[in-house]
Amino acid sequence: MHRYMGEGLKPGSRIALIANDALGNFAVSSPVAQVLRIMYQPAVLDGFTGSRVMEIATECPWFEEVVSVYGDGPRVVAERILAREPYDLVVNIENAAWAKSLVPLLAGENGGAIGPSANRDGRGDLDYGNSPEGRLWADPKWTRDSLRIDFPFLSTGHISEIVCRCCYWDGRIPAYNLPKHDPGRDIPDVLISATASLPDKLWPVDRWIRLMNLIAADGRTIGLLGAKPKAGSEFWRGVDDETRIVEESPVEDLRGEFTLPQVVGALDHAQLVVTLDNGILHFACSTDTPVVGLFRNGIHRLWAPPVPNLKVVEPGVGGHVSDLSLDRVWDGIKNFQIQLA
């Protein structure tokens, strides 16, 4: 295995793309997969992700096969990986130790590696090299405001562009492109999502409830998206907040009602989405529906998709999502000037 430095691949190459199965991380892999298809025209592009996104990943047209590497345990996954033919190129967009350890297993003796990777001997990590792309991979502060000054080949600081450029792509960054199914029912005017992976992403529940009442007073119906409460509490913070929102405001509980492709379809049918920085936000940004997203300061530079239908609401330097006032979020909604159907 070696560090790939943009030297090109032979025709008919095999490529593996490793992405976490958090919804937002998987959405970010969509532009990367499209770039790999265009740039290298591989005979095979396989996706390696986990059980949480398999129902949408298996419908992505750029993958020949999708393999689960999260959720089944290391021994089962290692046996699954070692039974496969090695890949000519392995692209890993995750920094976790488990993802890095998969790279040499997938690349075998002769494959190249893009992104975080363990060394083939298991001792430490594979060096990124001294190319501009390698230095960008190694940079520990992708959220800083000066990133584009230090790496002028970036046109935005969004994570999907960073990874695509680090794959030696110099063209336009493709948009998110996620499978979309009809949700099979009428969708409320406004869809919200109030859970996230970290507690510092959360917005106080009393403000959510007051916001729901303002939206309802404006004549709009509201629905809450998310996982079923039992499953949601395993992976996300804020499930108790969701329960209070449903109990104390005029919100229809749609948690667990849809498959992930149907979630994308529901978001596409809505008039507005209001959400924390989570997977629902990234799914919504694959549609044309207006989205108001509540972000942590600095993180918004890396994780807010650069799309015209997203209004970022963030607290400013030194602030927290919990500091965002109801007026700030309500102003973000009103700025879209959305008319009821």
**Same domain flag for 47 and 148:** yes
Task: Give the mean model confidence (pLDDT) for residues 266-290.
Answer: 97
Query: In the prediction, which pLDDT does 341 show?
Result: 39
Question: Which of these ranges, 6-10, 16-20, 233-237, has the smallest mean pLDDT?
Answer: 233-237
Q: Please state, for a pLDDT cut of 70, what percent of the chain lies above it.
A: 97
| Inside any domain, residue 310 | yes
Residue 161 has pLDDT above 70, yes or no: yes
Final residue of a domain: which of 134, 166, 198? Answer: 166
**Same domain flag for 40 and 159:** yes
Residue 105 has pLDDT above 50, yes or no: yes
**Same domain flag for 41 and 108:** yes
Residue 292 has pLDDT above 70, yes or no: yes
Final residue of a domain: which of 103, 133, 166? Answer: 166
Tens of pLDDT, residues 229-277? 866 566 778 899 999 999 999 999 999 999 999 999 999 999 999 999 9
Task: Give the mean model confidence (pLDDT) for residues 87-101.
Answer: 96
Per-residue exposure over 122-135, b if at least 16 CB sit within 10 Å of its own CB, e if not = eeeebebbeeebbe
Query: In the prediction, which pLDDT does 340 show?
Result: 44
**Same domain flag for 145 and 259:** no
Task: Give the mean model confidence (pLDDT) for residues 312-320.
Answer: 95
Tens of pLDDT, residues 111-121? 999 999 999 88
Write the Ramachandran bin of 5: left for phi over 0, alpha for psi from -120 to 50, otherwise beta: alpha
Q: What's the chain look like in SS3?
A: CEECCCCCCCCCCEEEEECCCCHHHHHHHHHHHHHHHHHHCCCEEEEEEEHHHHHHHCCCCCCCEEEEEECCCHHHHHHHHHCCCCCCEEEECCCCHHHHHHHHHHHCCCCEEECCCECCCCCCECCCCCCHHHHHHHCCCCCCCCHHHHCCCCCCCCHHHHHHHHCCCCCCCCCCCCCCCCCCCCCCCEEEECCECCHHHCCCHHHHHHHHHHHHHCCCCEEECCCCHHHHHHHCECHHHHHHHHHHCCCEECCCCCCHHHHHHHHHHCCEEEEECCHHHHHHCCCCCCEEEECCCCHHHHHCCCCCCEEEECCCCCCCHHHCCHHHHHHHHHCCCCCCC
**Same domain flag for 34 and 82:** yes
Query: In the prediction, which pLDDT does 237 show?
Result: 85
Degrees to nearest 5, angle at CA 189 with 314 and 199: 35
| Inside any domain, residue 180 | no
**Same domain flag for 149 and 80:** yes
Q: Supply 106's token pair.
A: 């997938």
Task: Give the mean model confidence (pLDDT) for residues 42-68.
Answer: 96
Is residue 311 within 8 A of residue 302, CB to CB? The reply is no
Query: In the prediction, which pLDDT does 251 show?
Result: 98
Degrees to nearest 5, angle at CA 290 with 288 and 293: 120
Nearest to 126 by CA among 156, 92, 176: 92
Query: In the prediction, which pLDDT does 229 show?
Result: 82
Is residue 125 within 8 A of residue 52, CB to CB? The reply is no
Residue 339 has pLDDT above 60, yes or no: no
Tens of pLDDT, residues 177-235? 999 999 999 999 999 999 998 999 999 999 999 999 999 999 999 999 998 886 656 67
**Same domain flag for 218 and 135:** no
Find the CATH number of the domain harbouring 159.
3.40.50.720
**What does each C-alpha distance from 12 to 8, 16, 43 come to in angstroms?**
12, 13, 4
Tens of pLDDT, residues 119-135? 988 899 999 999 999 99
- What pTM was computed for the model? 0.94
Give Rg (Cα) of the chain: 21
Report the chain's terminal Cα–Cα distance, integer Å: 57
Residue 337 has pLDDT above 80, yes or no: no
Q: Please state, for a pLDDT cut of 90, what percent of the chain lies above it.
A: 91
**Same domain flag for 116 and 233:** no
Final residue of a domain: which of 132, 166, 200? Answer: 166
How many residues belong to the chain? 341
Look up the domain containing 308 and give its range: 190-334
Reading across the β-sheet that carries 252-253, which strands appear in turn? 252-253, 222-224, 190-193, 272-276, 291-294, 310-313
Q: Which amino acid is at 328?
A: R
Query: In the prediction, which pLDDT does 232 show?
Result: 59
CA distance 193 to 174: 25
What sign results for the dihedral spanned by CA atoms 297, 302, 308, 310? negative
| Adjacent-strand bridge partners of 196 | 237
Q: What is the mean pLDDT of the chain?
A: 94
Residue 107 has pLDDT above 50, yes or no: yes
Query: In the prediction, which pLDDT does 338 show?
Result: 58
